[in-house]
Structure 1
Amino acid sequence: MQFLIENWALVLIALTSGGMLLWSSYGGASGSDGVSAAQAVLKVNREKGVIIDVCEPNEFQAGHAVGSKSIPLGQLDKRLSDLPKDKNTPVLIMCASGMRAKRAAAQLRKQGFVNAAAVSGGMRSWREAGLPVEKG
């Protein structure tokens, strides 16, 4: 007990960092981190979600998730009509690494697509999970 009293600052720092770790791991950062490749597949299969690839056309041609639709990030605002009419449909956003996808998901949520989410890690994580990729 004496140790805790004498080192209260260290104990407070340890508790705070542990709390922050738990917060980020268990939903405190929900929405911002996106979904895993496996979760994306479940949303497509169970909830009729759609995958939108926001890579540039040459990146899309080099390899993309099977069944995904190409809408480059720079054209997203102009091509909202290519997205599901029901704004509650899960819209899963992909890119090469996940960075552009996060921006696109935030952009779509502002447009009312409440279930827009980036696929964390993008095509890199999709390939690592052994999920199907097509070219062309």
Structure 2
Amino acid sequence: MNHPLLVGAFVILLVLVIINEAKSSAQGVTAREAIRLLNKDEAIVLDIRDRKDFAAGHITGSLHIPMTNLDKRIDELKKHESKTIIVVCKMGNTAAAAVAKLNKAGYAQAVKLKGGMMQWQTEALPLVKK
């Protein structure tokens, strides 16, 4: 308690981190939730990783639009706009930016895969390799 300003700053930062984590987790689905949505044909997977990572292993039936091409190719998702679009990247971080772009373009049901492909592989879920 010798440094009330430092303690106050720490508390404020802690609250901001908690709020940020709550927001980002609200937009995502777990691997198991993704499987449930895919099995019910209520979702599609949009893989935004580069070509090399996609070829090394991706979720069955994934659409591949690298993040660098998303703005140019976003209209390719029109036929899927009634479904949840599960955006996949390597670890889940880049997917949040893609979800924001999709939401802004009118795809309100876009969500990220929490943990990305790293989490999918950690759970030993199936991959297609090209």
Query: Is the pair's TM-score, using the shorter chain for normalization, greater than 0.5?
Result: yes
Q: Is the 8 A contact 1:53 1:68 kept in 2?
A: yes
Report the aligned-residue RMSD.
2.5
Q: Aligned pair 1:75/2:72, yes or no?
A: no
* 1:33 Cα offset (Å): 4.6
Runs of 4+ with >3 A deviation: 30-33
Q: Is the 8 A contact 2:24 2:96 kept in 1?
A: no
Distance in 1 between residues matched to 2:106 and 2:80, nearest whole Å: 10
Q: Residue 111 of structure 2 is aligned with which of 93, 117, 126?
A: 117
Give unmatched runs, 5+ long, in structure 1: 1-15
Give unmatched runs, 5+ long, in structure 2: 1-10
Go from structure 1 to structure 2 and tell me whether the alpha carbon gap of 1:103 and 1:119 turns closer, same or farther (over 3 Å shift): same
**Rg larger in structure:** 1
TM-score normalised over the length of structure 2: 0.77
Q: Aligned pair 1:100/2:70, yes or no?
A: no
1:1-136 maps to which residues of 2 (within 5 A)? 29=23, 32-136=26-130
* 1:48 Cα offset (Å): 2.6
Distance in 2 between residues matched to 1:37 and 1:91, nearest whole Å: 13
Aligned residues: 117
Structure 2 residue identity aligned to 1:110: K
User: Which residue in the other structure is 1:11 paired with?
Assistant: none
Percentage identity across aligned positions?
33
* 1:41 Cα offset (Å): 1.1
Go from structure 1 to structure 2 and tell me whether the alpha carbon gap of 1:81 and 1:33 turns closer, same or farther (over 3 Å shift): closer
